[in-house]
Amino acid sequence: MAPITDCIKQGEFRWTHAATRAFEALKQKMTEAPVLRHPELTKVFEVACDASGVGIGGVLSQEGHPVAYFSEKLNEAKQKYSTYDKEFYAIVRALRYWQYYLLPNEFVLYSDHQALRYLHSQRNISSRHIKWTEYLQIFTFVIRHRPGVDNKVADALSRVGVILQSLTAQVVGFDKIKTEYSSCPDFGLIFQEVTAGNRRDHVDFLLRDGYLFRGTQLCIPRTSLRDFLVWELHAGGLAGHFGKDKTITLVADRFYWPSLKRDVAHILAQCRTCQLAKARKQNTGLYTPLPIPHTPWKDLSMDFVLGLPKTARGHDSILVVVDRFSKMAHFLPCSKAADASSVAKLFFKEVIRLHGLPVSIVSDRDVKFVSYFWKTLWKLFGTSLKFSSAFHPQTDGQTEVVNRSLGDLLRCLVGDKQGNWDLILPVAEFAYNNSANRTTGKSPFEIVYGVMPRPPIDLAPLPIDARPSESATTFAEHIRRLHEEVRQKISLSTDTYQLAANTHRRSQNFQEGDYVMVRVCPERFPKHSFKKLHARSMGPYRILRKLGANAYLVELPSDVHISPIFNISDLFPYRGTFTPPVATEITHAIVPPAAPRVPTSHAAPTDQISQVLDHEVVASALGGFSRFLVRWVGRPDTDATWITEDEFHQHDPSLLRQVQDDLAAAEVTDARPPIIHTYSRRHRR
């Protein structure tokens, strides 16, 4: 269509040879197979979308046969979109174009862009993607990838995915199990003795119509029916994917077999939905402390405190630098927008000029600390940089503790002068470094300098003429003993904490090539997204290698823009996916159709509306529209359909005005309209 639409640009009509070829091709495509057919609302819709450099297109189909086509030429701005954005835009436009078909039903969405499958697992998305994602929330669909060579209309549905209908139920007949009791290892002997009337050793069991019961529980022989029943009560149409204990209760309330609890636990461990959607509490990975420093200001840790009000001097953050030996800290005001170069200048000005170059620096994975400039700078100075794994602040626990203390100090000192908190930082720093640390038992000032600084109270005259003094040799020995005492106390504190922490932890190791699920922290969700309904895990992903005692490098998809290094507490083994058995032993299975959905309108403009049964407003991020549930003259109630306001106006504008007037009156009087609104019109005979 692009050559044809080009002929009417800029208000001038100019027919070209390219337009002639396009028009002839269009006529041929419109008259040859496959031709369109009417949709059947009881069948699953499939939407296939694709994008090119000049336009987007889609096909709505059922069982491999096209129902409708959609295409749109991209303007110059949209032609500059990335491939990902073009594919995403094609999906949004196609769903909006066919929303009347797709809103009431679950459907399959095909795209040849693999990255769109992981849309909800990305950490940061643009405002454009947020708007499009919010619009997609009103639909119920499954995204499936189809390679470009297969994304064709003629070969659309050779691999139709199975959709789990929301309220599909199965009423199962159990006639087959009557013949399985005699050969079952679990119930064979019991069945024979109870059949012979010998219930002395099996008083809990009885026969009823050929079925073996244990009290009120139906005994299930050792067949695939056991797995089938567990799966139905755990993940069936009306089940809720409850945990092991609740599922055992549901199964044991109706059925019995000796290994019931073990079988339930085995099946639930392989439920993919539970592995993805449920949060897991696990204490895996033993506590592994960092090496104990030996002297002050050689091994540091650093972090940022963000979210502070901006002061008149442009400060809205604090760079916290902590000496891991003495626990002395420097609180340096800075700006959140500062780059790695600015942070390095501040660090040299306020820390290195006082204490010299460090041997190691522990930090999180802030973009400033993992930048090329920062890494290259410290590599030149021979300083080792140690980074915590993503969203695992325990690695840099020293700075996290200081950050909490700093927050308490500032809240106490600032009061109602929150706009000048950066002027209070020197006071907060002195107060912190002058207080005794719980681990060392000494103040940071005393450990670093060997003496305590003079607080205001020392300015008062002493009752004696002079303070006692000591020689240089004695002072040096005092410093040596002090540092040795500090090292011993840090070591003792570390050992004590390690013993206490590992009491409730278990060792967990993965090998290269193992598949794991990755726990998703709330911080990994994109801003403004619906965090409550996101999956709590991602995966399965492959372990590439072990990086330390508790850190692993994981192979993530290319479109997941987060650090691939995870702490072991965020990983748990992938248990595989349980496939429900086809219970061939079950006879007389009755599978009723899925719960009926009210179909959308396909009435001709000449059809007459008999009654208006209901009204609703379908809202979305891109707007909303009204639709009405109507009954048609001469048709049964089962043919009632939803129609839009425009379609209503085409059929009966006067009845539409009556309905709108009644709805407006209900809003003015604050009267809640009834659940079903009925508006009848007399028709001439």
Q: How is 432-499 classified by DSSP, letter by letter? A: HHTSPPTTTSS-HHHHHHSS----GGGGSPPSSSS-----HHHHHHHHHHHHHHHHHHHHHHHHHHHH
> Which class is domain 33-150?
alpha beta
Which CATH architecture does the domain made up of 299-460+469-479 adopt? 2-Layer Sandwich (3.30)
Q: Which residues are within 8 A (CB) of 632 and not within 5 positions of it... i.e. 6 or more apart? A: 603, 607, 608, 609, 610, 639, 640, 641
pLDDT for residue 333: 92
Place of tokens 């915590």: 388
pLDDT tens column, 547-603:
877 788 888 877 676 778 888 778 888 877 656 654 444 433 333 223 333 444 444
CA 524/CA 124 separation, integer angstroms? 8
Instruction: Give me the pLDDT at residue 259, please.
Output: 92
CA distance 229 to 2: 56
Give the whole-angstrom CA distance, residue 469 versus residue 475. 10
Helix (H) or strand (E) holding 256: strand 255-256
From the list 318, 310, 325, the residue with the least C-alpha distance to 350 is 318
Say how far apart CA 499 and CA 67 lie, in whole Å.
67
| Predicted pLDDT of residue 575 | 76
Whether 220 and 255 have beta carbons less than 8 Å apart is answered as yes
* CA dist., res. 306 & res. 304, Å (int): 6
Q: What is the rounded distance in angstroms from the CA atom of residue 641 to the CA atom of residue 609? A: 10
pLDDT tens profile 292-340: 788 888 888 888 888 888 888 889 999 999 898 888 999 999 988 888 8
Residue range(s) occupied by CATH 2.40.50 in the chain: 598-685
Instruction: Write out residues in the chain with pLDDT < 50, as ranges.
Output: 121, 152-172, 391-393, 395-396, 459-460, 462, 464-467, 525-526, 528-530, 582-605, 619-623, 667-685
Global pTM reads 0.40
Burial (CB < 10 A; 0-12, 13-18, 19+), residue 13, is: exposed
Q: According to CATH, what is the number of the domain 598-685? A: 2.40.50
Q: Please state which architecture CATH assigns to domain 171-271.
A: Orthogonal Bundle (1.10)
Chain-centre distance for alpha carbon 575: 19
Cα 284 to Cα 63, 253, 288, 502, 506, distances in angstroms: 47, 34, 12, 9, 5
Q: How many residues does the chain have?
A: 685
Residues of the chain with CATH 3.30.420.10: 33-150, 299-460+469-479
Where do the CATH 1.10.340.70 domains begin and end in the chain? 171-271
